[in-house]
Amino acid sequence: MLFNSIEFIIFFPVVVILYFLIPKKYRYLWLLATSYYFYMQWEAKYVLLLFFSTAVTYLCGILTDKINRGELTEERKTRGKKLCIAGSLFLNLGVLGYFKYLNFLIDTWNKVTEHLHMGASFSTMEILLPVGISFYIFQAVGYTIDVYRGDVYAERNFLKYALFVSFFPQLVAGPIERSKNLLRQLGEPKSFSYENLRKGLLLMLWGFFLKMAIADRAAVIVDTVYGNNVFWSGMYVIVATMLFAVQIYCDFSGYSTIARGAALVLGFELTDNFRAPYYAVSVKDFWRRWHISLTSWFRDYLYIPLGGNRRGKLKRDVNLLVVFAASGLWHGAAISYILWGLLNGVYQVIGDFVRGVTAKIRRVCIAGERQETFSDRLLKRFATFVLIDFAWLFFRAGSSVRALQLIRGIRQMDWMILINGSLYNLGVPAEYFRVLLLMIVLLFWVDSKKNRGIDLVERFLAQRWWFRVVAELLLIFVILLFGCYGELYDTTQFIYFQF
Amino acid sequence: MIRHNLSIFNFRGMLKILVGMAYAFILFLSVCRLLNFLYMEDDERARIMWHNFYEQEENIDYICVGSSHVYSAVNPELLDQKTGENHYNMSTGGQRLRESYYIIKEADHRNELKGVYLDLYFLLSIEGMGDYNNLSAVSGGWKNLDYRRFSLDKLDCFFHLNPPEYYISAGLPFTRFREHLCDHEWIYSMQANKRRPEYRNYQYRWETENGRAEYTVKGFFYDNREMSDLCLDAEKVPENMRMAEDAEEYLRKIIEYCKKNEIEIILFQTPVYKLEAIAYENYDDYTAGIKEIAAEYGVPYYDFNLAKEEHLPIQDMRYFVDTGHLNANGAEMFTEFFYNVKAGVPEENKNMFYESFREKLQSESAGITGLYYRQGRTDEIMRGEIAENMYRMTIASNRDEELEYQIYLTPEGGETVMIQDFSDNKCFDIPVEERGVCRIVWREKGDLENWMEMEVGY
């Protein structure tokens, strides 16, 4: 069930109304049932995987907790806990590996053996990737690590814990919630709040706008160009790649915003996954603003355990590259994703080096600190966007070979297509193209406020009722008139569902 | 900042929310109406049919349901005169059986319905066209939603006529025309049309040098033009003529509904010009399938394409507008005959019909009716049987083997060329963009003295 489907428009109000009508004590059971139903709409049998991951991490948490409280020596406690966490990691990552990476490994092995003329090849298997598997497994594994570290107590109520892993608004594409945030909230009884309802619905509406009016409309152009890179090259690839940056942002943040809104209507606050990422002044800054829940997961559960930045610059850079390669691999089982991740890692390593050098030069040449100006920030933002967008090319191309083909094609530049109307031949008519650009301007305006720490939702809700109604209806009609839906378009899945 | 929390049982708070939602909803509906007015292109006949249906003061006793060739063929006013009962033609263009089912329910819930005449036009019920899984089928049904008054039946119909991905387009008509959002000419033409007195007064009529047409108050479309084209586009002809699963399901539902509610039901097939039935090469398979279903339920089925010439001498171009639609004269003749059949004894009625279309063709003197054409199917092109971008033209003959044909083509601006001397081959190919005149000379095999000829524009 997609958020931008009629099924969800019917499903969600039913869930909310019954949720608040059921006695508080049993509400989490209703949410659990609806969450499993929501997941089963894709492929019912894969709910067993969700249950398996939930059961394994739950038992691991309980065992770890028991060991912690038991009267054992510290050494035996540590060994027991390590065994538990290793078991949880092995089983969960094993499931993830089988469903997501086995064919990639077989394929890579076959290519290597073919290259070396070894002839020991295996045939790939027909495995359908369960939707959202990377998200819920990371969330569940994160919980076991938290219990292992003693950051949280193990949840005793299995059903409540099962809800934590399967909570439907964030089940299939995050945000990857921490047990400290979501599990704690699930334990507290929630009352109906009009304020939450208004805020939640507004967030959902904004999410639908991002997804249907911007992301899916931009996707038409991106798919046209990336679908035939022989015919569309040069400037077309640059325009399409820039639009892909907008598409993936609106697609993913659209989902996250709908998820946050839906959870808020039910009384739960989810992590904000994005903080105006294209206003970042460096690649490092970008990753503090993009997919925050995943970045912080990798930081806390991989980068820091690897040593973080505590063991010298070289080790820090290696750790950074390992984390970003892993992040690329998390996104997809293909070399192009690893390259995309590594490229982002390399940007940061080089960025740190350049920053160090320029700081030294400044110290020597310029006495005192210079105030950063608007033009400095503008230049940094532009440079960061160019670097990030170049990396997106690898992400969107789907294979490293195609990515290189596209890059080679960029050399044939024809600047005139920007003004002679050729861009209107990419599947989006002229009027819609102009409206798309206007909507992107609106998006960046909203993000500029967010970047300055202004809560536009609060400001909006503080306005007079007539203004709110008119603005909300305007947004609805913009979605209805410019959004992608219905018979003329395939309902585009959220890009991050595939991860 | 959370300013106030409301319990679900705080009625004052809930009232405030509900009033706010009602305001927003009313505003939403008003904007939708405005956008519909600005952008929506009406199906005028469906609009008038539904309007007049709700305006009927007397109880409607009998309805006729089916597609456009039924609203051209059955004149309810003639039936009223003959029976003294109130008939109403609820046919709409391209109406499929799924739509017919919900139309019958609506008519029955608003009237004490005595009978239903259900047309089973083969083109809209065979596999492919009769399947309710493509845009043209689904969007074809919207005209029977747009003008219906709101009721639970309408909601039921809405959810059964539309898969979820079509809900927005079905429920909010202006969204279907959103590609015209900035098209001033479109908006202007819509406004010009909607400001016409005829539009406002639910009238639809036009006149050309070829004739005059008018949509009457009881759903009959009067059209006095005469058919002139004997070259039929048979692109939609399927490989087999079985009834589609969806069409059969709804046919059974309709029969069961009528039986349950004690409504008389007559299944029938409006006559088409012979050329069309010949073009659908396995026509008898389709009609045999319906006969089986009709026999299973014990309801009458009359295929008027099988009517004997002495009872219904309608196979003449003077009675048709085109191969699928009767004109006013044809409708008068057909309605009269329909009434006779309906009023007659079923056993005796059998004598007025042939058992099969093949039998009917065999009973006629050998001859040809025209030409039909289609492009090659993918497999035929792959096998090299028909070249790409060529039309396979076929002579519509009432004999398989007894005749032989000589074919001449005169392309526009070109010279006449004989492409086939006397042979029993009925097919030839022409480029899709070519236009011209085809002269066919035919004779019985071996008869060197008697021959006939026909000229057909293509």
> What are the backbone angles phi and psi of residue B183, rounded to the nearest 5°?
-95, 95
Tallying the residues shown for chain B, one arrives at 458
Q: How many helices (H) and strands (E) does chain A have?
A: 21, 0
Q: What is the pLDDT of residues A462-496, one digit of tens each?
A: 888 888 888 999 999 999 988 888 765 555 566 66
Q: Identify the pLDDT of residue B207.
A: 86
Residue A17 sits at the chain B interface (C-beta within 8 Å): no
The C-alpha angle with vertex B313 and arms to B205 and B227, in degrees rounded to 5, equals 40
Q: Identify the pLDDT of residue B237.
A: 74
Mean pLDDT of chain B: 88
Q: Mean of the pLDDT values across residues B331-350?
A: 89
pTM of the model as a whole: 0.79
Q: What is the pLDDT of residues A200-239, one digit of tens each?
A: 999 999 999 999 899 988 998 998 888 877 777 788 888 9
| Residue B301 CB partners (closer than 8 Å, separation 6+) | B120, B266, B267, B268, B269, B290, B291, B294
Question: Residue B27 and residue A481: Cβ atoms within 8 Å?
Answer: no
- Taking 70 as the pLDDT cut, the residues of chain A under it are 119, 366-370, 487-499
Which tokens sit at B253?
């539902």
Task: Say whether A331 is catalytic.
Answer: yes
Question: Residue A473 and residue B24: Cβ atoms within 8 Å?
Answer: yes
Q: Identify the pLDDT of residue A24.
A: 85
Q: Identify the pLDDT of residue B3.
A: 43
Residue B12 sits at the chain A interface (C-beta within 8 Å): no
Q: What is the pLDDT of residues A8-24, one digit of tens each?
A: 888 999 999 999 888 88
Confidence band for B375, pLDDT divided at 50, 70 and 90: confident
Spatial distance between the Cα atoms of B75 and B57, rounded to a whole number of angstroms: 19
Higher pLDDT, B236 or A184: A184
Q: Please check whether residue B147 is in contact with residue B50, taking contact to mean a CB–CB distance below 8 angstroms.
A: yes
Which tokens sit at B208?
């050309």
In the block, residue with structure tokens 């599947």: A427
Confidence band for B313, pLDDT divided at 50, 70 and 90: very high
Number of Cβ atoms within 10 Å of the Cβ of B20: 15
Q: Identify the pLDDT of residue A125.
A: 78
Q: Identify the pLDDT of residue B5.
A: 45
Spatial distance between the Cα atoms of A401 and A476, rounded to a whole number of angstroms: 41
Q: Identify the pLDDT of residue A437.
A: 92
Q: Identify the pLDDT of residue B364.
A: 86
Which residues in A244-382 belong to E strands, given as ranges? none
C-alpha distance from B311 to closest chain A C-alpha (Å): 47
Higher pLDDT, B248 or B414: B248
Q: Identify the pLDDT of residue A487.
A: 62
Q: Identify the pLDDT of residue B6.
A: 47
Residue A477 sits at the chain B interface (C-beta within 8 Å): yes
Q: Identify the pLDDT of residue B135.
A: 73
Confidence band for B4, pLDDT divided at 50, 70 and 90: very low
Q: Identify the pLDDT of residue A496.
A: 60
Q: Contacts of residue B175 in chain A, CB cutoff 8 Å?
A: 480-481, 486
Q: Mean of the pLDDT values across residues B111-117?
A: 94
User: Which of B8, B12, B19, B155 to mutate: most A Cβ within 10 Å?
Assistant: B8
Q: Identify the pLDDT of residue A495.
A: 63
With CA atoms as reference, the chain A residue closest to B21 would be A469
Query: Residue A160, Cα to own-chain centre: how many angstroms?
Result: 25
Q: Identify the pLDDT of residue A289.
A: 92
Q: Please check whether residue B28 is in contact with residue B128, taking contact to mean a CB–CB distance below 8 angstroms.
A: no
Q: Contacts of residue B139 in chain A, CB cutoff 8 Å?
A: 487
Q: Is the peptide bond before B238 cis (omega within 30 degrees of 0)?
A: no
Q: What is the pLDDT of residues B390-406, one digit of tens each?
A: 888 999 988 878 888 88
Cα torsion through A469, A471, A472, A478, rounded to 10: 140
Q: What is the ipTM of this complex?
A: 0.73
Confidence band for B1, pLDDT divided at 50, 70 and 90: very low
| Residue A18 CB partners (closer than 8 Å, separation 6+) | A30
Mean pLDDT of chain A: 86
- 3-class DSSP state for residue B294? helix
* pLDDT > 90: percent of chain B: 45
Spatial distance between the Cα atoms of A324 and A351, rounded to a whole number of angstroms: 15
DSSP assigned state of A215: I
Which residues in A285-396 belong to E strands, given as ranges? none
DSSP assigned state of B345: -
Q: Contacts of residue A472 in chain B, CB cutoff 8 Å?
A: 24
Helices (H), B202-320: 245-260, 274-279, 283-297
Cβ-based contacts under 8 A for chains A and B? 69
Residue B13 sits at the chain A interface (C-beta within 8 Å): yes
Q: Please check whether residue B314 is in contact with residue B333, taking contact to mean a CB–CB distance below 8 angstroms.
A: yes
